[in-house]
Each structure stands twice: as structure tokens, then as C-alpha cells.
Amino acid sequence: MVESVIVSVNFPDDGGEDTGILLVGKPKPGHASEIINAFEGKAARELYKKLTKRKVVPEA
């Protein structure tokens, strides 16, 4: 059986190009979230933009 996982992303955006840390965590019921990965600076900002950009789905 495959475990279903919801990943939470936290990225405080202060506007600086090379600032900010993007944390990727997995919520654990009844416990603190488990940090899976972290990205910093420009890489964090690019990944955040990629993850939060809405895709336009063409109507059928």
C-alpha cells in the first residue's frame, strides 16, 4: 500500500532576492512536523515560484 503524504511548504518572503529559506515538512498527527528538506536563497525563491504558480487548464 502506498502512503499518501501532504507536504507543507513555508517560505517567508521578505522581498530580497538572495534571502529566505524554504522548508519542506511532512505533518505528523499529534507531533511536530518532520522537516524533509530545506532550500536557501535564490534556489528557495525559484522553487517557491514553481510550486505556487497556478496552471491554466484549458476547457474541454
pLDDT given for residue 29 in this prediction:
81
pLDDT given for residue 27 in this prediction:
79
pLDDT given for residue 59 in this prediction:
79
Region label for 45, one of left (φ > 0), alpha (ψ between -120 and 50) or beta (otherwise): alpha
Candidates 25, 49, 20, 27; CA nearest to 36 is: 25
pLDDT by residue, tens only, the chain of 60 residues: 666 666 667 777 666 667 778 888 887 788 888 888 888 888 888 888 888 888 887 776
Residues contacting residue 11 through CB under 8 Å, at least 6 positions apart? 20, 21, 22, 23, 44, 45, 48
What are the boundaries of each domain within the chain? Answer: 8-52
pLDDT given for residue 1 in this prediction:
61
Candidates 31, 33, 40, 30; CA nearest to 6 is: 33
Which parts of 1-60 are beta strand (E)?
8-10, 21-26, 34-40
